Chain A
Amino acid sequence: MHMIKYIRNFSIIAHIDHGKSTLADRLIERSGIINKRFFRNQILDTMDIERERGITIKSQAITLPFISTSGERYLLNLIDTPGHVDFSYEVSRSMASCEGVLLLIDAAQGVQAQTVANLYMAMDHNLSIIPVINKIDLPTANVEMVLDQIDAELGLDPYSALTCSAKEGIGIEDILEAIVHRIPPPTGDPQSSLRSLIFDAQYDAFRGTVIHTRIFDGTVKQGDIIRFMHAGRVHKVEEVGSFLLEREPRELLTAGDVGYVIAGVKTVSDVRIGDTITKDRQPSETPLPGFREVKPVVFASIYPIASDDYEDLSVALEKYKLNDSAFVYQKDSSIALGQGFRCGFLGLLHLDIVQERVEREYDLSIILSVPSVRYRFTVTSGEALFVDNPAHYPEITAITRSEEPYIRAAMMFPDRYMGAMLKLIIEKRGVNSHVAYPSPGRIELTVEMPLASVVYDFYDRLKTITQGYGSFDYNLIDYRESDLVLLDILVNGEKVDALSQIVHRGIARERALHTCEKLKEEIPRQMFKIAIQGAIGGQIIARTTISPFRKDVTAKCYGGDITRKRKLLEKQKKGKKRMKMVGSVAIPQSAFLSVLKTDES
C-alpha cells in the first residue's frame, strides 16, 4: 500500500484540441504500464466517436506508477478532461477529486476562452496550477507570446510555466517532476469515517454501475456496507480498485486514492454524481460538497424514421442513458412524425453525439426536431410556464409575458476581427458588451445575449469569422423579456411539427426563408410539386417550391440491363427508408439537421 504522501491527484485541463489526451499518452507511455505494441494515440479516448472526431467527450481517470529522480515511488492519478464547452461539467467534477492541474496552452494558439474558464474553475477548487505550453514543435509556436499571455491574461507567474511537445515527447520528465514537487499530496485521514466523492459513473454490462470515486477520508474494501449520503441507499461493496488501462482490483482504497467501487448498483441513474459515499456502520457526519446539477440547455425530439422502430428506440435510449447521465428524455409525440421522445442536451455537440451514438450503437435511423432552448411564458392566470417544445407553445391570447434565457458569453480573438465580430454580435442580439485588451493585439469581448442565438450556428460563425483564432465560453445568467413568435413549417400544406420553432419576431421571416431554402436543397425532387411554406399563425411569411422530377425511366432495359437496374433501385429504396414520409413527401433525415446550418454568406 502506498503512503498518502506518495500519491498525486491531478487533471489535465485546456482549451479544446490543445493536446490534453496526447500529453496523457506520453505520461502513460513513460509509466511503462502498457506494452508499446498495444499503444495507440489518444489511448484514453476509448469511444469510437471520440477517436473518429479526435475529441474527448468523457473524462477518463488512470493511475500511473512513477519513480522520481530522487528514487521515490509515486502513484499518479491522472484525469484527462474534455475541452469542448458542452462538457465543461466533466472538467469541474474531475477537479473536485484533485489537488492540482496541468493547464495546457497551445504554443501557437495561445490562451483561449476555455483556458481562462478552466483556470478560474481550478482556482475555485483551490488547486495547484502548473501551466504547460504544449506543441512547441510547431513551426508557428510562439512561446514568448504565450508566456506574456500567462502573465497578463491568466495572472500566473510565467516562470512557473513548463514547455513541452506532447507529440514529440519533449519535456515530459520535467512535467512529471513538477507534478510530484509542485502538487501537494492529498490530505485526509485513513482512520476517520469514510468520505468518498462520486465524480463519475459508468455502466458495465457485466458488473452494473462502476462508480468513480475519490476517497477523502477513511478506507473502503470488499464486503463493506456503504451508504450514499444524499440518496440514502445502502449497498454492499463487491470490488474496489484502480484504473490502470483496465480496471485493476485492489484490496483497499484509502484516503487520497482515486479509484472505482462496484457495489451492485443496477443503473447509472441510481447514482448521483457528486454524492458522498460513507459507511453504513460509522457514517460520517457531513457529506462532501457536491456538484451543481447539470441541467440541459438545448431540447429536441427524437423520432424513429420507421414508426415500427419506436420500441427499439425506447430501449436504445434507456441503454444509452446508462452511460450518459447528462442526457435526459421523456415520451413525446408528433402529429407529422409519430411517437418519439423529448430530449435535453448540454449543447449542440452533445446533441450531435447522442444522435450519432444512438444511430450507430443501436443501428437505428432517427430524426431530430429543430432544437430549442427553454422559454418562459407567463399566462393570464399568472402562472409561469417553461416551454422547451414548440408543440407546447401556449395559446397566444393567453400569453402576458414571454421571456427567453440569456447567457454571458466571453470571446477571445485577435483584434483584427473586431469589426466582423461586432457585426455578428449585433446580428445575434448581443447587449451590454465589454471589451478588454488582455494583451497587445488581443481582445476579450464579453456580451450578454440570448442562449437561442448561440444554439443556432454561433460557434461555426465565430470560427469562420476569426479564421479559427477565436474562442468562446458562456454561462447562463437569467431570463429576459422577449418578443417571441411560433414559426411553423408546412410541406404541401401539412404542418411538420418537428420543424416548428419559437423565434424572436425580428428574425422570424429570415429564419423562415432560410428554413424553406435549406429544405429545398435537402428534399430530393419527387414525382409531385412540393410547396414549402413558413407561417406564423395562419399567415404565410415565406415560401418556395420544389419542381417535380419528370423523367427517370432509362432508355433500354433488356436482358443484360435488368440486374444493374435492380441494384440501382434497391439502393434508392434503401435511401428512401432513411426518409420520413410526411403526407406524400419523403423528407430525408439530413433535411431536419440542415435547418440548423447557415451558409457562410
Chain B
Amino acid sequence: MTGTKDQDSFVRSLIMEAQLYCGEFSDFDTFYVGGGTPSVLAIDDMKRIIKPLEGLFSFAAQRESTIEVNPGDASLAHLRALRELGFNRISLGVQSWDDGLLALLGRRHTAEEAEMALVRCRRAGFDNISIDLIYAIPGQNRRTWENTLRKTISFDPEHLSCYELTIDRETPLGALVESGSISRVDEAERAEFFLATAEFLAVAGFEQYEASNFARSVSLRCRHNMKYWNHAAYLGLGPAAHSFNGKKRWANHRSLALYITALEEQCRPVADEETLGNDELMLEALFLGMRTIDGIKIDQFNHRFHRDLLGESGDRIGCLQKEGFLILEEGSLKPTTKGLLMADSLALL
C-alpha cells in the first residue's frame, strides 16, 4: 500500500467484507493476522480493523491471537501496542541466523535484528512465541542447520515452524537456481534434513505435531493452524485470503484494486470458489490428517465419509505399518516420522 488513501479504503473494505460474512460465521476461538507483511500496517489501522471485528463476531475469552511479525519491523513500542490490542502470540519470521543466506532468500532483515526482536517480544510480554526457520537451502549442511536450531532454541521459543525451502523465483536464490548456477538440494538430502530436524528438536523437548511444526507442549500447538489440518471451518478476510465453511472453499482476489472494487459494489471479492464433494473432502481429510501426528481418527472418518477405511485398504495399511510408515493407535491411523515425510503418498493409500 502506498498512500494513506489506499490504507483507508483497504481498512474500509476489510470491514465491509467482514459484514458480509458475520451471519454465516459467528464464533471464533482463534484469530490470526498474517500473510504478506502485516506488521507494516500501522497500529492505528490495526485498531480500526480489530475493534469492528470484535463487534461483528464473538471471540472466545481464551482465544489464541497470533500476528506474524518481521524481525525488521519489531520495535518495542510496536510490540507493546500489539499486546495491548489483544495479541497473545507472535510468529516471527527469523528464517536463518546467517546474513548471507537471508540475503539469498530475499529477506530484508539481518540476524542481529532478529535476535533483538526476540528479546523485545519477551520484554513486551509475549509468552507464546513461534519462530519460522528454513532448511535445505543450497550451501546449508546438517552441521550448520543444527547450529541454527541450537541458537534458535537458546531463546526458549514455545513453538517452531521449520520449513523446507520452497524456491521463489523473485528471490536472488530463485534467479540463481533458474540460471543453473546453483542446484537444488536433492530429495534424499532433503529427507535427511527433515529427519535431522525431527531428531534434534525431539531431544530438545519439542513435539513434531505436524510435518513442519513443533511445540513445547500440546497446549502450545498453534490452535489456529490445527483448524486447517483438522478440516475445520475458517474465514479469511483481505486480498488473497481463503475461506472454508465445511462445504465450500473460496479465494479472494489477489489484487488489492479488484478486492476493493468488488466490495465497493457490495459484492463478495471472490476470485475462485469451489464446492467440495464427498470424494474431494475425503481426499483432503486424508492428506491433511497424514501431515499431523494425531493422524486420522478412523471411526470419525468412516462415519463422515461412509467408508470402511480398514476394511477397504487393510492390506495396504498393513504393509505400510510393517514398513514403519504408519501406526494404528487408539483408533487412529498415525504417521510415524518416516510417514510424515511421505504424507502425500500415504494419503493416496
List A residues at the B interface (Cβ < 8 Å). Answer: 526-528, 549-560, 562-563, 565-566, 569-570, 572-573, 576, 584
| Pairs across A and B, CB under 8 Å, 19 listed | A549-B345, A551-B190, A552-B343, A552-B345, A553-B291, A553-B340, A553-B343, A554-B344, A555-B212, A556-B212, A557-B211, A559-B241, A560-B236, A562-B242, A562-B249, A563-B242, A569-B344, A569-B347, A584-B316
Which B221-249 residues have a C-beta within 8 angstroms of A? Answer: 225, 228-229, 234, 236, 240-244, 249
**Option from B234, B242, B283 in Cβ contact (under 8 Å) with A570:** B283
Mask: chain B, 119-146; 1 = CB below 8 Å from A; 0 = not: 0000000000000000000000000000
Q: Is the CB of A562 within 8 A of B344?
A: no
Interface assignment of B194: CB less than 8 Å from any CB of chain A: yes
Q: Is the CB of B187 within 8 A of A553?
A: no
Residues of A within 8 A of B283 (CB): 566, 569-570, 573
Residues of B within 8 A of A562 (CB): 228, 242, 244, 249, 284, 288
Beyond A551-B342, A555-B166, is A566–B280 a contact (Cβ under 8 Å)?
A: yes
A566 vs B291: C-alpha distance when bound (angstroms): 13
Query: CB-nearest residue of chain B relative to A575?
Result: B348
Q: Is the CB of A528 within 8 A of B166?
A: no
Residues of B within 8 A of A560 (CB): 35, 236, 240-242, 251
Interface assignment of B191: CB less than 8 Å from any CB of chain A: yes
Q: Is the CB of B211 within 8 A of A566?
A: no
Of the listed residues A528, A553, A555, the one surrounded by the most CB atoms of chain B closer than 10 A to its CB is A553
Q: Is the CB of A550 within 8 A of B188?
A: yes
Q: Is the CB of A576 within 8 A of B163?
A: no
Q: Is the CB of B344 within 8 A of A553?
A: yes
Beyond A557-B288, A560-B240, is A527–B348 a contact (Cβ under 8 Å)?
A: no
Residues of A within 8 A of B164 (CB): 554-555
Q: Is the CB of B287 within 8 A of A551?
A: no
Interface assignment of B296: CB less than 8 Å from any CB of chain A: no
**Option from B229, B240, B320, B342 in Cβ contact (under 8 Å) with A557:** B229
B-side interface residues, number (CB < 8 Å): 45
Mask: chain B, 162-178; 1 = CB below 8 Å from A; 0 = not: 01111000000000000
Chain A's nearest CB lies how many Å from the CB of B167? 11
A528 vs B323: C-alpha distance when bound (angstroms): 8
7 further A-B contacts with Cβ under 8 Å, apart from A527-B345, A565-B344, A566-B283, are A549-B187, A551-B191, A556-B166, A557-B229, A562-B288, A563-B274, A573-B348
Interface assignment of B103: CB less than 8 Å from any CB of chain A: no
Q: Is the CB of A552 within 8 A of B287?
A: no
A410 vs B328: C-alpha distance when bound (angstroms): 66
Residues of B within 8 A of A559 (CB): 228, 234, 236, 241-244
Q: Is the CB of A550 within 8 A of B344?
A: no
**Option from B165, B242, B284, B323 in Cβ contact (under 8 Å) with A566:** B284
A454 vs B35: C-alpha distance when bound (angstroms): 63
Interface assignment of B214: CB less than 8 Å from any CB of chain A: no
Residues of B within 8 A of A554 (CB): 164, 166, 344
Interface assignment of B341: CB less than 8 Å from any CB of chain A: yes
A566 vs B225: C-alpha distance when bound (angstroms): 18
Which B325-346 residues have a C-beta within 8 angstroms of A? Answer: 325, 340-345
Beyond A553-B211, A558-B228, is A527–B287 a contact (Cβ under 8 Å)?
A: no
Interface assignment of B60: CB less than 8 Å from any CB of chain A: no
**Option from A555, A572, A584 in Cβ contact (under 8 Å) with B348:** A572
Q: Is the CB of B249 within 8 A of A563?
A: yes
**Option from A527, A553, A557, A572 in Cβ contact (under 8 Å) with B228:** A557
Q: Is the CB of B342 within 8 A of A527?
A: yes
Q: Is the CB of A551 within 8 A of B288?
A: no
Interface assignment of B182: CB less than 8 Å from any CB of chain A: no
A161 vs B34: C-alpha distance when bound (angstroms): 82
Chain B's nearest CB lies how many Å from the CB of A256? 64
Beyond A527-B323, A565-B287, is A556–B163 a contact (Cβ under 8 Å)?
A: yes
Q: Is the CB of A569 within 8 A of B341?
A: no
Interface assignment of B319: CB less than 8 Å from any CB of chain A: yes
Residues of A within 8 A of B229 (CB): 557
